[in-house]
Chains A and B, each alone.
Chain A
Amino acid sequence: MVENRPLADLVSHAILILGVAIVAFPVYLALVASSSDPTTIANGQLGLLPEGHLFENYWKVLFEGTERSTKQPMIVPLFNSLVMALIISTGKIAISLISAFAIIYFRFPFRHTAFWVIFITLMLPVEVRIYPTYKIVADLGLLNTYAGLTIPLIASATATLLFRQFFMTVPDELLEASKIDGAGPWMFFKDTLLPLSMTSIAAMFVIQFIYGWNQYLWPLLITTSDDMQTIVIGIQKMLYVTDALTEWQLAMATTILAMLPPVVVVVLMQKLFVKGLTETEK
């Protein structure tokens, strides 16, 4: 910074530490709760230090399920969430890559129309067309399937825009050189364009994996059977138990499990994540 002011720096550190603490506290408390036993929590005696039931609770949630609410071992929804997030992220990337390729590297009638048709989907989030979309998926017989869970979410204006933007910056000389070498569209795409796009693809993957993993409204509508449930829906189902107390230690263990994979992705691939976020959404 401009001037050296040790006191001001100290204040800055204090503000940042306070910020980090506020951001981390709810998760810390969830961790403590997931290491506790039901009576301690139910009696409102949960302290601020972890207790000894951590492995027991996670084991129970993963492989046995709750005693009173869903009774579902959470390993199944955890797996479903993983499948859903992977299909959505790779699917979005795949179909966006080829559509951006078509729009940038070909000349054909209705090219601009096609671009706008994709672009306008930005203005039609699931939330504004909930029931008609549900009905289409039901009519296609895709309720309670991975296809129904993922395909309607696979169209992506953001990914198409990002790849289009990136392809624009690829020098024309590369295409000309490939053509002189006798490469067709597929060869050029596979041998030149894809290797150049790897960073963008990885950045996009991080963003879309998180997007897919955290879907809530859509799985809530599309999945009714227990074995198709996703982990974020599983949490909600655990909270509402008729005629019994919520098993908070298990609900909080599920919460931790539900946030772990996307948070790990963000922390481990921070550079790609920041790149994906700032480039797609501007």
Chain B
Amino acid sequence: MEKRSYFAGRLLPYALLAPQLLVTIIFFYVPAVQAVYQSFLLQDAFGISTQFVWFENYQLLFADHAYYQAMSVTAVFSILVTALALSIALLLAVQADKNLKGAGVYKTLLIWPYAVAPVVAGVLWLFMFQPSLGTLARGLHELDVDWNPYLNSGDALTLVVLAAAWKQISYNFLFFLAGLQAIPKSLIEAAAIDGAQPMRRFWTIIFPLLSPTAFYLLTVNIVYVFFDTFGIIHAVTNGGPAGATTTLVYKVFNDGRAGGDLGGSAAQSVILMAIVIGLTAFQFRFIERKVNY
């Protein structure tokens, strides 16, 4: 980030950076440090006395069945949403990349859900699958499917997975399409002249060249499921039934609510922080590779 010529100001650059740095320090760094500190504290039930307990909060956490459940829910949720949203988006992007009539219209009609808030996506899907009055739930009942996301864990998870994947297709579609359009047409034409059929061309040329985009999207999708789906879960299932849709983030929120278990909630936050740092580092390694491609 070097420029050959620059301004000489001594105090001005600090003044220019001040607003951003102030907000960053007050609302990002101080709370993050406090979360780490709080994770070593134990508060009694009335919030009167606190004591420093080293890693007791973490020990309690890793002895807690509910935490393992939240981990596995988050893992299953991430895998399902990512797989669903990536594969559907890729299928659509491959079609939209062909020189079809109206390709631009399709693109517009497929990308707008990006602008929909996760909670809105959740409510839209809840309405379709609301067990007693939802249009699609009624269809399922007519097929003798016993569908009730309020009572059945599998149904609840299915519902939030569908809503979360539905919203994420647009983002993945856009990046896959951009990735596809960046592949030189001459490569594909050469393969076609050599007699490679469309399927073969896709798996041996297009798909490998698309893999940097796919890896990038993989991490973005996982981060999305971890953090942005909070709104879906909070509005649609409240983490239930019986914790079946309680993700790690929802658990941080729920455990610390109304002055509950702040130490435990903070310990969970710290673990989440470690996960985000890991994911971000992973993402940047792949971006580096992409740049050098």
Residues of A within 8 A of B (CB): 1-3, 5, 8-9, 12-13, 15-16, 19-20, 22-27, 29-30, 33, 41-44, 46, 48, 94-96, 98-99, 101-108, 111, 114-115, 117-118, 121-125, 127-133, 135-137, 151-152, 154-156, 160, 164, 168, 172, 175-176, 179, 184-185, 188, 210, 213-214, 216-217, 220, 232, 235-236, 239, 248, 251-252, 255, 258-259, 262-263, 265-267, 270, 273-274, 277-278, 281-282
**B118 on the interface (CB 8 Å rule)?**
yes
Q: Which range contains the number of B residues in contact with the other chain?
A: 35 or more
- Whether A235 touches B6, Cβ cut-off 8 Å, given contacts A127-B230, A131-B256, A259-B117, is no
Query: Would you call B216 and A282 a contact (CB within 8 A)?
Result: yes
Query: Would you call A266 and B115 a contact (CB within 8 A)?
Result: yes
Chain B residues lying within 8 Å of A121, measured Cβ to Cβ, are 24, 28
**B253 on the interface (CB 8 Å rule)?**
yes
Query: Would you call B119 and A20 a contact (CB within 8 A)?
Result: no
Say which residue of B19, B110, B126, B174 sits within 8 Å of A19 (CB atoms).
B110
Chain A residues lying within 8 Å of B19, measured Cβ to Cβ, are 94-95, 98-99
Once bound together, how far apart are the Cα atoms of A99 and B35, in whole Å?
Answer: 27
Query: Would you call B256 and A9 a contact (CB within 8 A)?
Result: no
Chain A residues lying within 8 Å of B111, measured Cβ to Cβ, are 266, 270, 273-274
Question: Which among B53-61, B70-78, B87-95, B145-153 touches the partner chain?
Answer: B87-95
Query: Would you call A274 and B112 a contact (CB within 8 A)?
Result: no
Chain B residues lying within 8 Å of A239, measured Cβ to Cβ, are 123, 126, 235
Chain B facing A: main interface SS: helix
A-B contact list, 27 entries, CB within 8 Å: A2-B188, A15-B92, A19-B88, A23-B109, A23-B170, A30-B127, A48-B135, A98-B20, A102-B16, A107-B6, A118-B21, A127-B227, A128-B32, A129-B34, A130-B253, A131-B266, A155-B28, A175-B5, A175-B6, A214-B115, A214-B120, A239-B123, A239-B235, A263-B115, A266-B114, A274-B174, A277-B174
Say which residue of A33, A44, A277 sits within 8 Å of B132 (CB atoms).
A44
Chain B residues lying within 8 Å of A125, measured Cβ to Cβ, are 227, 276
Say which residue of B189, B256, B269, B280 sits within 8 Å of A2 (CB atoms).
B189
Name the CB-closest residue of B to A252.
B127
Name the CB-closest residue of A to B91.
A15
Chain B residues lying within 8 Å of A172, measured Cβ to Cβ, are 3-5
**B98 on the interface (CB 8 Å rule)?**
yes
Say which residue of B14, B116, B138 sits within 8 Å of A44 (CB atoms).
B138
